Structure 1
């Protein structure tokens, strides 16, 4: 029967893997977990940005800003959109509401595109759409002026202050009754002017 050595000659029991490697396994494990979280967040943000960039409200708003001559003059052309911020998109009962802010980087100046839009069906309708300039000015992209040939526009030679069909005083018959005068305007703030 073999005898076991005693004293200094006794073998040291072998340690397990964790006892031998914990000093480098703990930091590597923590870094791996943090890296996985960062990758997941980056993928989610990238997917959200790509789907938002393909949304009709974003593309329509950007196209209107790029075609507007006042924006082109203020920012320079071409200008590039930055990463959208303050983005909110919600859908309720088939109606989609979107609010977003997009920085614009132009060769002459920078600006910010602000938009609020609703979608019912296939088309987007903007309630708010403007570009805020770096100097504090604002270009309203929904401000559509009536063209010169609009049916309700007055001809240039017609002055609205002087209608041409009003009879002259000399044209009135001598015995015709004069039109009654309107009542005098009341000044606000006097108790005697209150009608009961």
Structure 2
């Protein structure tokens, strides 16, 4: 008479019920991390162009913007737009969220770089609620 010894289950047979969900969760977490990293890279590129800090500095120093938004005025995270430079020329179109103590708004920037100098075609803050503040002075402020 022979006794049949049941086969010992493999690692996969013993562990697939927890391994598959853990693997799926890790894949999902990696996908989310890649998306966040890509977004941070894009926002970082937009923030690194000279029109961004120049426009923000001008908006933060403008009395009408301060009166409408409240102090302190700082930027939000989701910068939108596009920018391109090629040596001494370039262009930028940005929508920069601004947050103050009383209200929020969006700083719109349309700039062109000629002969190494940025000129602003549009530099205006749209305050939530409808007010639009046009920033007139075309000289870039000193950026710290």
Give the TM-score, by structure 2 length: 0.81
Equivalent residue in structure 1 for 2:40, among 33, 41, 46:
46
TM-fit CA distance, 1:78: 1.9
Equivalent residue in structure 1 for 2:103, among 109, 112, 118:
109
Where relative contact order (Cα < 8 A, 6+ residues apart) is larger, the structure is 2
More strand as a share of residues: 2
**Structure 1 unaligned spans of 5+:** 145-196
Aligned to 2:142: none
Larger radius of gyration: 1
TM-fit CA distance, 1:34: 1.2
Cα deviation 1:55-97 (Å, max 9, x = unaligned): 2110011011112121122222221111234322234686432
Cα deviation 1:114-147 (Å, max 9, x = unaligned): 1111224532221111011223111111367xxx
1:14-33 alignment runs, 5 A limit: 14-33=8-27
Task: Give the count of matched residue pairs.
Answer: 138
More helix as a share of residues: 2
Equivalent residue in structure 2 for 1:73, among 67, 73, 76:
67
Task: Out of 83-92 and 98-107, give the one that drifted further.
Answer: 83-92
1:124 has 2:122 as partner: no
For residue 80 of structure 2, give the secondary structure of its aligned residue in structure 1.
strand
For residue 101 of structure 2, give the secondary structure of its aligned residue in structure 1.
coil
Distance (Å, rounded) in 2 between the aligned partners of 1:121 and 1:35: 46
Give the TM-score, by structure 1 length: 0.62
**Structure 2 unaligned spans of 5+:** 139-144
